[in-house]
Amino acid sequence: MPLLNTSCLVLTLLALSPFQDKSSDPEPSLQGKTLTQWMELLSREDVGQTADARMKAKRGALIALELLAGSYEPKIIEAVSKVMAGDSDPKIREAAAGALVRIALKISQKSKTEEPKDMAVISLRQALKTDKDSKVREMAAQGLGKLVPQAVKALDVLAASLDEKEAGIRIASADAIRKLGEQAKPASKQLQSLASNKNADIISRAHACLALGNIREEAALPFLLEIMEARNEALDLQVASAKAFSMIPLKDKEIPARLGKVLIAPSTARDLKLALVVSLDQMGKLAQPATEALIAVLADRDGAIRAIAIHALGNMGPELGPMLDRARNAVGNMLMDSSADVRLSALETLGRWGPSLVDMATASKVEKLEKDSSKEVRETAKLVLARLRGPAPK
C-alpha cells in the first residue's frame, strides 16, 4: 500500500512539473487555424485572387504568428525569415521584417534566451545587404537597431549602408550603430565620411555625429569641433555635434574652452547654446576651462540656458580655483532671477557647495528666498540655509 501511494505521488509531481514532455499538447491556434496552418498560409505564393487579397492574407498570417509566438519556436522565426527573403511582393517583405523583430523580441523575453534575436539578426543582415527594395532595407536596418547588442554581428553591413543613396537607410543604419555603443567603433570612419558628406541630407549627417558620440570615438573630436565651429554648417548638424561632446571622454582641456567660446558668441543660435551648455554640464569638473563662458552666459535671455549653466558651475566646486569668487557672486545674483527654475538652480548649487565655499553675504541672499512667491523655492531655501549654517567641513 505505501508503494502505491508513492507511485501516485510521483505521477502527480510529474504531471505538475514544468519539464514534462509537451509533445502531446494541442498545437496553439487562432481563428480556427493552427500555428502550422498559419505558417503554411504565409509561405504560399498563390494566396488570394488579387494582389490586394494576397496582401491582406499574408499580413493576417504575420499578425497571427506574432500573437501565437509564445515559448521558443525556431520554426516561427524561420518561416517569417523565409518570407522576408523570398516573397515576390516588397511590401510583404517589408512587413515581414517588422514582424520578425517583434516576434524575436517576444519569444526571447518569454523563453529567457537570446537565440531568437541572433536568428533574426542573421536574416535582417542579409535583407539589408541584398534586398533590392529600399523600404525593405530600411526596415531591416531599423529592426537591427532594436536587437542590440546582437546586431553587432551586422555591423559591417550597417556601416556599408551609411553610403546608401536613400536617406531612410542611412538614418536607420546610423541610429542602429549609435545604439551599439563602443562596440561599434570599427564603423567610425564610415560615420565620419557620412557626417562630412555635403551631398547627404542633414538628418543623416546629424545621426552620424550622434553615433560618433555614443560610440565614444575620441579620434572624432577634432572633426566634431570643426563642424560645430563652422559658420556655414546647418544648425541641426552643429547641435548634434555639440551633443556628441558630452558622450566622448575628454583629455584635451582646450575642447571645453572652445565650446565655451561658441557658447557666448553673439551669432550662436539658441538651440546650439542649449546643446553646448548641456554638454558642458555633463562634463562635470572637466568643464572648468569654460568657467568664464558659463558665467557670461548667465546673462542669456533663455531661462533654461541660465539654469543649466548654474548647475554646470555647481559641478566644479573647489575646481573653480581663482574663479570661485566670480562664480559665487554670479550664482548669488541669480537668486533674484525672474525665473523660479533659475532661482532653484542657484539654491541647489549653493547647497552643493556648502559652507566651505559660500560666504555670509551670499547666505543672506538665500534668507530672502524664505519669503519667495514660489513654495518650492521657499522650501528649498530653508534646506539650503540649514546646510550653510552648519559647521564647515575641516
CB 214 within 8 A of CB 178: yes
CB 388 within 8 A of CB 354: yes
Rounded Cα–Cα distance for residues 132 and 140 (Å): 12
Cell numbers given for 237? 548638424
Cell numbers given for 264? 557666448
The reported pLDDT for the residue numbered 252 is 83
Closest CA to 318 of 365, 349, 281, 285: 285
Per-block mean pLDDT, blocks of 10 residues, the chain (394 long):
40 35 65 91 86 92 90 83 95 97 93 93 98 98 98 98 97 98 96 95 97 95 92 93 92 91 96 97 94 98 98 94 95 97 97 93 94 96 92 55
The reported pLDDT for the residue numbered 73 is 72
* Residue type, position 115, single letter: E
Rounded Cα–Cα distance for residues 258 and 276 (Å): 11
Class at the top of the CATH hierarchy for domain 33-113:
mainly alpha
* HSE value, Cβ hemisphere, 13 Å, CA-based, for 263: 34
Rounded Cα–Cα distance for residues 346 and 331 (Å): 6
The reported pLDDT for the residue numbered 8 is 41
The reported pLDDT for the residue numbered 311 is 98
Rounded Cα–Cα distance for residues 206 and 241 (Å): 7
CB 155 within 8 A of CB 112: no
CB 207 within 8 A of CB 240: yes
Q: What are the φ/ψ torsions at residue 30 (nearest 5 degrees)?
A: -150, 130
Rounded Cα–Cα distance for residues 118 and 98 (Å): 15
Eight-class DSSP state of 131: -
Residue spans of the domains in the chain: they are 33-113
Rounded Cα–Cα distance for residues 125 and 325 (Å): 58
* Residue type, position 288, single letter: Q
CB 81 within 8 A of CB 62: no
CB atoms within 10 A of CB 144: 33
